[in-house]
Amino acid sequence: MRRLLHALAVGLVGAGIAHIVILLLVPAFSERDAWSRLAMVAAPNKVVRLDAEIGGAPVVKALDPLFFEAACRFELSDGVVRINNAGKVPYWSASVYDRSGQNVYNFNDRTATDGNLDFVVLTPAQMIELRKGLPEEFAKSIFVETPIDEGIVVVRAFVPDASWKPEVSRFLDGISCEMQ
């Protein structure tokens, strides 16, 4: 019985130490989230390549080697953000994440007009204002109405084989993320 109590006491003390160490390490890991990493390499509304094809270590680790990725941080406090590109690739998808990394909205080239990458991210209040007088350049855009004021847009493009790498790279490099 004495050995059992001793083992339980050692186990509880060890678990307590492990929990304290984890709590002390949380700030170190929370400063390395996707938002912070993107903020270190680019200002808002600047497109950043996430894949390793651009040379050097990727900003955020890509999960699938058959996809190249680019991201853009945005802030909607001063207006809407338009993401577009006239290029064509076999497949692309776009996702909007809030600052903490929760997926807010996603779609792909199959839901876009003519398969073109052209969408506007805006708040519900901005959508109401925009409907009063829709600019001509937004005629074929997809409107992504989000309840967030700042976030990250990630565009992924499929690379079927090595011959597509230059074309997909040009597509991602040609993406604009502009405040309108």
Task: Check which CATH number belongs to the domain holding 136 and give it.
Answer: 2.60.40
- In sequence order, what are the beta bridge partners of 108? 93
Kindly report, residue by residue over 60-106, the tens digit of the pLDDT. Answer: 555 677 889 999 999 998 889 999 887 889 999 999 998 878 889 99
Q: Which residue range is the domain that position 15 belongs to? A: 1-30
**94 closest CA partner among 46, 157, 146:** 157
Kindly report, residue by residue over 116-145, the tens digit of the pLDDT. Answer: 888 999 999 989 988 888 888 888 888 989
Is 146 contained in some domain?
yes
Number of domains in the chain: 2
How deeply is 98 buried, as exposed, middle or buried, from its count of CB atoms within 10 A (0-12, 13-18, 19+)? middle
pTM given for the model: 0.75
